[in-house]
Amino acid sequence: MTPDLFAAGPGPAERAAELRAQLHHHAHRYYTLDEPEIPDAEYDRLFQELQAIEAAHPELLTSDSPTQRVGGRVLDELVAVRHRLPMLSINTETDTEPSGARNFDTRVRRALGLTEVDPPVEYVAELKFDGLAMSLRYEDGLLVLAATRGDGEVGEDVTNNVRTIRNIPLRLPADAPPVLEVRGEVYMRRADFEALNDKQRAKIAAGAKGEKTFVNPRNAAAGAVRQHDSSIAAQRPLSFFAYGLGEITPPEQGGPAFETHYDMLMQLKASGFPVAEQTALCTGADALVAFHQRIGGSRDQLPYDIDGVVYKVNALALQRRLGFVTREPRWAVAHKYPAQEQLTTVLAIDVQVGRTGKLTPVAKLAPVFVGGVTVTNATLHNEDEARRKDVRVGDTVIVRRAGDVIPEVVSVVLPSVRAEPVEALSSDHPELVEGQAQPERGPVFTLPRQCPVCGSDAVREEGEVDYRCSGGLFCGAQRKQALLHFAQRRAVEIEGLGDKLVEQLVDSGLIKTLPDLYKLGFTTLAGLERMAEKSAKNIVDALEKSKRTTLPRFLFGLGIRHVGEATAKELARHFGQLDRIMDASVEALSEVNDVGPVVAQSIRTFFDQPHNREVVEQLRACGVTWEEGEPAERAPQPLAGKTFVLTGTFPTLKREDAKAMLEAAGAKVAGSVSKKTDYVVAGTEAGSKLDKAIELGVTVLDEAGMLALLPT
């Protein structure tokens, strides 16, 4: 469903910023930490909502938007590798029923301009493995590099670990091309996973320290691939399937010639690469539907986990015609299956506080095996959702492992409304037997109005469903996020204070609030694990340097909800002094340019918390300073109402500097060219945006022409 951009709640700009932050966070949890917090389906929903906002408001599109790139980030401990050709993701079909296959075929035929009388399109149907995407680079037939997908542009060098995977060839046949990059998936078979966990349990029982069992085959495989010691990876039974190519020597230089994707897969198979035997040619939508149903029916019998199937247009010439949309090919789609469900009992309902302050009710469950794992917790999302489903302690519920990642409670099962027989369930769930006296249900769930971690007010903004802790600078659950936000380059900027160091400082108890940063000494830092004396001195110097900042940077660094860089600048310009901002009423805050009632109330709520004010005063006492003055007059905005698009490389200006100059003059800077675009500023190596501007008759400027429009 397309989000209602005009519903009550945050405006499009604020919602887009919130979605970008959430998607970056969840991509980090999924791709980097292997500790996802939300199901794939929820990530897809957030992603689609952001796409819809950016489509309706092109001026909100930013270069760092998750829609502009594949999610993920390289782990600091591994060597970064830039892919010669990006490892792009593919779109996910939101209709999990077989009809989703017809949706894809319809889109392909429409894009190719085919009518009902034209012959059906031929596809290759493959399995969507639940593993870790991998690129294998061969030069002159030898495996020289194995790299993870990373963020799609830059991955991690895991060559030594991948060499231990027995079904990956280390040397190709003599007729191999000079350069060949094979793309595929590293995974762990279910039987191998269970055997591995049996060994882990035996070690734990024998008293081994630091050992643990693994949650699922995907996480076990991902963890093995990212080991620093390849001998550890060799002990884990990993496998590989090939499904595509990256860089390859072209035919005119001695490389192979393929006309279809299927031919390419068969040649890879002939060269020794494993290709899933279920891979099939399918002609037309009916064949795709049949494949989806056939694989879905045998999914549980497969020796490895999958979470869907993938369809690809077979003819490479047609793939080139269809091309790409943003980060995704038009000629391929991932088609997932409906989430798996089971019955269990709610033992308790706890409240978790996330790193951004969101309060989430979580149902503690009697252990149940769902989607390949034993589930003991399931999200209830928010108070409204918990009440809508009327989930209470003691209830029997349907739990779904949505997207095969994070479990959720779907609904409560009451015996009086059950339509299907319950005999098979009665041994495990005697409360479901018809006619049996039922115990009185527990009380209706209510989310606490104070944060269970720090005691600050839990507030819900108008039009929102989530309650959030308002003690952002004080709350222990938000401590790491607050430190990282405060220290980032666009805020106060403390160079060298990254994820690993923040985690170490917080987990060791050295840092409880932001001011504790400025109480760190060289001796304390140098005494930390993996912290050399030079690194400790660099951090001390960076802390000292960060004390001299600006009011907008400091405001942004406080992490006030909805207050981004632009809003922080407007607040500083309007009020001139921090104390005036902290004491301003909602009405006074609403007078600031681009600050609406939701943002104004968020600022007021933040500074109404004594904990937050205390942190601000302590930071001042630690020597954090900035220049203040009288409110500034609004600068002239001669380009107000004009929309610009920037493309290419400029002679003297960086892209972000040009954007800032245009925005300061009142212009909107969009990410794509449309009929509403007034100017396209083109530098060298300008691409499709310049072509689009010429096609639409949009005025094209160079850097000098743009500067001529700006006030002197």
**All structural domains of the chain with their residue ranges:** 12-68, 91-336, 341-432, 463-634, 643-709
Positive or negative, the CA dihedral 72, 77, 82, 87 is negative
Nearest to 663 by CA among 577, 566, 522, 548: 566
Whether the CB-CB separation of 4 and 52 falls below 8 Å is answered with no
CA dihedral 109, 676, 708, 636 (to 10 degrees): -140
Nearest to 242 by CA among 272, 280, 282: 272
CA distances for 663 relative to 489, 564, 637, 703, angstroms: 20, 15, 9, 15
Instruction: Enter the DSSP assignment of 479.
Output: H
Task: Quickly tell me which residue has 């040397």 as its tokens.
Answer: 171
- Domains 91-336 and 643-709 belong to one CATH topology: no
Instruction: Enter the DSSP assignment of 170.
Output: S
Phi, psi of 395 (to 5 degrees): -70, 150
Most distant CA pair in the chain: distance in Å?
A: 84
Residue 417 CB burial class (10 angstroms; 0-12, 13-18, ≥19): exposed
pTM of this structure: 0.45
CA distance 66 to 57: 16
Residue 595 CB burial class (10 angstroms; 0-12, 13-18, ≥19): buried
CA distance 560 to 552: 12
CA dihedral 268, 259, 89, 190 (to 10 degrees): -30
The CATH number assigned to the domain with range 643-709 reads: 3.40.50.10190
Measure CA 301 to chain center.
Answer: 31
Query: What per-residue confidence (pLDDT) applies to 282?
Result: 97
Long-range contact set of residues 260-266: C-beta below 8 Å, sequence gap at least 24: 260/122, 260/124, 260/314, 260/315, 260/316, 261/124, 261/312, 261/313, 261/314, 261/315, 261/316, 261/319, 262/124, 262/314, 264/316, 265/124
In CATH terms, is domain 12-68 a member of 2.40.30.20?
no
Q: Which residues have CB under 8 Å from 327's CB, separation 6+?
A: 67, 68, 69, 70, 88, 89, 152
Amino acid at 248: I
CA distance 41 to 461: 25
Q: Which residues have CB under 8 Å from 660's CB, separation 6+?
A: none
Measure CA 64 to chain center.
Answer: 12
What ranges in 609-687 are assigned the alpha helix state H?
610-621, 655-664
What residues are annotated to the active site? 128
Which tokens belong to 197? 């966990």
CA distance 517 to 545: 13
Model confidence pLDDT, tens digit, residues 23-80: 867 765 664 454 676 777 677 788 888 888 988 888 888 756 777 544 344 445 678 8
CA distances for 6 relative to 2, 17, 56, 58, 226, angstroms: 12, 16, 11, 16, 45
> How many residues are recorded in the chain?
712
Query: What per-residue confidence (pLDDT) applies to 151?
Result: 82
Q: Which residues of the chain have pLDDT under 70?
A: 1-9, 24, 27-35, 37, 41, 63-64, 68-77, 215, 326, 338-340, 371-372, 402-405, 415-439, 632-636
What is the CATH class of 463-634? Answer: mainly alpha
Which tokens belong to 545? 């340097």
Which tokens belong to 490? 């666009």
In CATH terms, is domain 91-336 a member of 3.20.20.70?
no
CATH architecture of 341-432: Beta Barrel (2.40)
Nearest to 647 by CA among 680, 669, 679: 680
Model confidence pLDDT, tens digit, residues 124-156: 999 999 889 999 999 998 999 999 998 888 999
Query: What per-residue confidence (pLDDT) applies to 328?
Result: 85
